[in-house]
Amino acid sequence: MYKGLENKVALVTGASSGIGRAASIAFAKQGAKVVLASRNEASTLQTLHMVEEVGGEGIFVKTDVSIADDVENLIQTTLKTYGQLDCAFNNAGVSGPAGPLFQLAESDFQEIMDVNLKGVWLCMKHELTAMLAKGGGSIVNMSSAAGLIGSVGIAAYTASKHGVIGLTKCAALEYAKANIRVNAVCPSVIDNTVMVNQVKAAYPEVYNYLLATHPVGRIGQPEEVANAVVWLCSDVASFITGVAFPIDGGTVAGQIPKAS
């Protein structure tokens, strides 16, 4: 097996399930040592076990990305354990409640921004410091297809994901000559994530609507996002930075008209 990230160290936040879990395994398959960060210890230790099952190596660091001390500890533990940080996937996020903008509680708005936007900024702040010391690296931030277009009923989430793209572009420009690439991925509806599983069980009609917004006729799989993340972190993507990369089955391109 080709291992394009051998001797590299990759960090994944939100590694407890879904896309974060798939990315952790994908990094390990490519030869990287993986640092798994999450608030959910039990589930993330399961991810670590899966990393080890595919022949990988890693550690778990309990982290709330909205807390500066936690993020600083995450990076310092990474450097203390492995001596370097080459790749980072800032994936941790929350969706928050759905509903009209005026009904959104201030506390819910603040939590979404603290995790999805401030959390990405805090992670980049400390990751960039580590990568500057090493002489380069690659960061991928988790945005969303909702970060590229408007969405109904998830205003705070949408705003946070637009903000992630803004942070990504600014960092890409600031650190391009320092050999640090910064990109964002923008998935649409991805299976086996907490939100999609909840919708599928409780609101099958909403799930069917979401399915219909994908021109390819299906929703995505976590591994499809993970593969794109690992590719963006690898040397084969060495000329790509500042990109908001849709992984959406054609959703952002537009809807296929139904036959009348």
Contact (Cβ atoms closer than 8 angstroms) between residue 35 and residue 12: yes
User: Rounded distance, CA 113 to CA 107, Å?
Assistant: 10
User: Rounded distance, CA 43 to CA 30, Å?
Assistant: 22
Report how far apart, in Å, the C-alpha atoms of 201 and of each of 136, 196, 207, 208 are: 44, 9, 9, 12
List 82, 157, 175, 207, catalytic entry: 157
Alpha carbon of residue 70 to chain centroid: 18
2 classed as catalytic: no
Closest CA to 168 of 201, 160, 258: 160
- Cα angle vertex 246, ends 244, 247, to 5°? 140
Contact (Cβ atoms closer than 8 angstroms) between residue 233 and residue 183: no
Q: Enumerate the active-site residues.
A: 157
